[in-house]
Amino acid sequence: MQKMQSTILLNQIRELIAEARVSVVRNIDFIQVWTNFHIGRMIVEHEQQGSHRAGYSEKLLINISEKLTHEFGRGFTDRNLRFFRQFYLTFKDRTIWKSPISKLYKKENVSISQSQVGKSIEVSNQGIVQSLIAQSCPPGIFTLSWTHYLFLMSIGDQDERSFYEIEATSQHWSVRELKRQFNTSLYERLALSRNKSKVKELVKRGHIIEKPEDTLKQPYVLEFLGLDEKEEYTETELETAIINKIEHFLLELGKGFLFEARQKRITIKEKHFHVDLVFYNRLLRCYVLIDLKIGELTHQDIGQMQMYVNHFDRNIKLPEENPTAGIILCKHHEQAIVEMTLPENNQQIFAGKYRLLIPSKAQLRKQIESVQL
C-alpha cells in the first residue's frame, strides 16, 4: 500500500513538472515558484496520509529525488524537495486546499478552493495538473523568484518576512539587495521611528511614504562608504564618500529620492551658505535637504537647517510643491534638545543618526521593545 502511494505521488509530481515545463507562460519565475509550492503541498499531504514510521519521509524524498533527477535533471535533490515542503508549510495560508491529497488519488471530481481568488474550480483526476497550472495560478499570490523565497523562508518572524516580501516586490529588489536590506535591519530601523500602529502598517502595506517623517530610519546605515568608525574623518570626507557611492546612498534613503546638488549655495543678504546635499522626493513632491554632522548635534545646527528650509520654501519651491523637509545626519543627538529647539508641531526638520557599521539586530529589537512598552 505504501509503495503504491509512493508511486502515485511520484507520478503526480512527474506530471506536474512536465506540464509546467511545456506551458507557455510569460513569467517563468512565477511558474517555477508555483510548481515548487504544489510539489511541497503534494509531499506534505502525502506524508499526512502515509506511514508514521521513523525515516519513512526521508527515504521517500530520497527515492523520489533520484527518479526526478534522472528524468528532469538538476533541481530535484532531496534537499530541494525539503525546501519545497518548507515553502508550502510557510505560505500555505495563502491558498486553502479543502480537498485532502487522498481524494486526488480517486477517480472522481474534486473541488479546489482558493481564498485569494474567491472561486472554486471543478477538475477531474485526469486534468488535475493542467488545471493547477492553467487555471489556478492567480496573480499576486507569489510575486518574487524562487531564490527570493528561499531567502525569505530563513526569516523566522512572520511579520518581518511579510514586510521584506512586500518591499522586495514593490522596489524590484534583487536577491542581493534583499539580503543587504535584511542584514542592515531595515525593518527594525523603520520600526524604531514609528509608533505601534505604524509598525503594523509596515507588515501589511510595506514602507509607505506619505509625509517626510515616513522616510526616517533610526539609524541610517552607511557601511558601504568604507569608512572606519574608529578613525577620524571630516564632514567633507564623509560627504565625498557619499557622493562616490550615491547610488547606494539613494537606496539607503529609501523610496522616491532623486539627487540634485552637492554644496548647494544659497545667498542671504550677501552672505553665502552651503547645503551639504539636496534631494527631491517625487512621492512627497518636495525638496529634502541633508546636512552632515560628525559630532553631536547642537541647537545651532538645528537653527541653521531651519534657515535652509525657510529659504527653499520662500524662494525655490514651486507653489504646487509641498513644504521642504530637512534631515540632519549626525553620529549623536539628544532628542530633548531637538524637541525643545523645534516647534511642537514640527513636520519639516528631523534628526537622524548614522552608523558606519551594520548594527546588531538583537540590540535594535530590544530598543523597539523598550520604546513600545
CA–CA distances in Å: residue 52 to residues 2, 9, 55, 82: 11, 16, 8, 17
pLDDT at 88: 93
Residues 341 and 203 in one domain: yes
327 found inside a domain: yes
pLDDT at 131: 54
Label residue 15 left, alpha or beta by phi (over 0 means left) and psi (-120 to 50 means alpha). alpha
* Cα(65)–Cα(60) distance, integer angstroms: 8
Confidence of residue 225 (pLDDT cuts 50, 70, 90): very high
Confidence of residue 95 (pLDDT cuts 50, 70, 90): low
Nearest Cα to Cα of residue 183 among 119, 244, 252: 252
252, 245 in Cβ contact below 8 A?
no
CATH code for the domain of 271? 3.40.1350.10
Give the tens place of pLDDT for each residue, 15-41: 788 777 655 444 557 778 888 999 999
Residues with Cβ < 8 Å from 369, sequence gap 6 or more?
Answer: none
Tell me the three state secondary structure of residue 324.
coil
pLDDT at 121: 30
Residues 91 and 128 in one domain: yes
The residue type found at 213 is E
141 found inside a domain: no
Long-range CB pairs of 114-118 (<8 Å, 24+ gap) are 114/138, 116/140, 116/141
Burial class (CB in 10 A: 0-12, 13-18, 19+), 79: exposed
304 found inside a domain: yes
Q: Which three cell numbers stand for residue 204?
A: 501589511
Residues 99 and 28 in one domain: yes
Where are the strands (E) in the chain, listed by range?
Answer: 110-114, 119-123, 220-221, 257-268, 271-281, 286-296, 325-332, 349-355
296 found inside a domain: yes
Instruction: Give the residue with greater pLDDT, 32 vs 8.
Output: 32
Residues 244 and 230 in one domain: yes
- Specify the pairing of strand 325-332 against strand 286-296: parallel
Instruction: Give the residue with greater pLDDT, 222 vs 372.
Output: 222
Q: Range of 179's domain?
A: 149-183
Residues 97 and 154 in one domain: no
Is pLDDT at 48 greater than 80 in this prediction?
no
Residues 165 and 277 in one domain: no
139 found inside a domain: no
Residues 193 and 249 in one domain: yes
295 found inside a domain: yes
Q: Which three cell numbers stand for residue 333?
A: 543627538
Query: Mean pLDDT score of the chain, rounded to an integer?
Result: 81
Residues 107 and 224 in one domain: no
Quote the number of domains for the chain. Answer: 3
Give the tens place of pLDDT for each residue, 155-178: 999 999 999 999 998 888 999 999
Q: What is the mean pLDDT of residues 245-258?
A: 93
Residues 88 and 193 in one domain: no
Residues 224 and 77 in one domain: no
249 found inside a domain: yes
Give the tens place of pLDDT for each residue, 96-119: 443 333 333 333 333 333 333 333
pLDDT at 101: 31
Give the tens place of pLDDT for each residue, 320-353: 999 999 999 998 888 788 878 888 888 899 999 9
Measure CA 152 to chain center: 9
Is pLDDT at 248 greater than 80 in this prediction?
yes
- Specify the pairing of strand 110-114 against strand 119-123: antiparallel
End-to-end CA separation in angstroms for the chain: 56
- Which of the given ranges, 27-41, 230-244, 273-287, has the highest pLDDT on average? 273-287
Tell me the three state secondary structure of residue 271.
strand
Of 99, 134, 169, the residue that ends a domain is 134
How does DSSP assign 128-155, residue by residue?
HHHHHHHTS--TTS--S-HHHHHHHTT-
Instruction: Give the residue with greater pLDDT, 336 vs 247.
Output: 247
Residues 120 and 174 in one domain: no
219, 189 in Cβ contact below 8 A?
yes
DSSP H helix total and E strand total for the chain:
16, 8
Nearest Cα to Cα of residue 67 among 76, 58, 59, 55: 76
Q: Which three cell numbers stand for residue 238?
A: 564623509
Of 108, 134, 160, the residue that ends a domain is 134
Residues 262 and 340 in one domain: yes
104 found inside a domain: yes
* Cα(24)–Cα(19) distance, integer angstroms: 10
43, 66 in Cβ contact below 8 A?
no
* Cα(299)–Cα(305) distance, integer angstroms: 10
pLDDT at 113: 36
Is pLDDT at 224 greater than 80 in this prediction?
yes
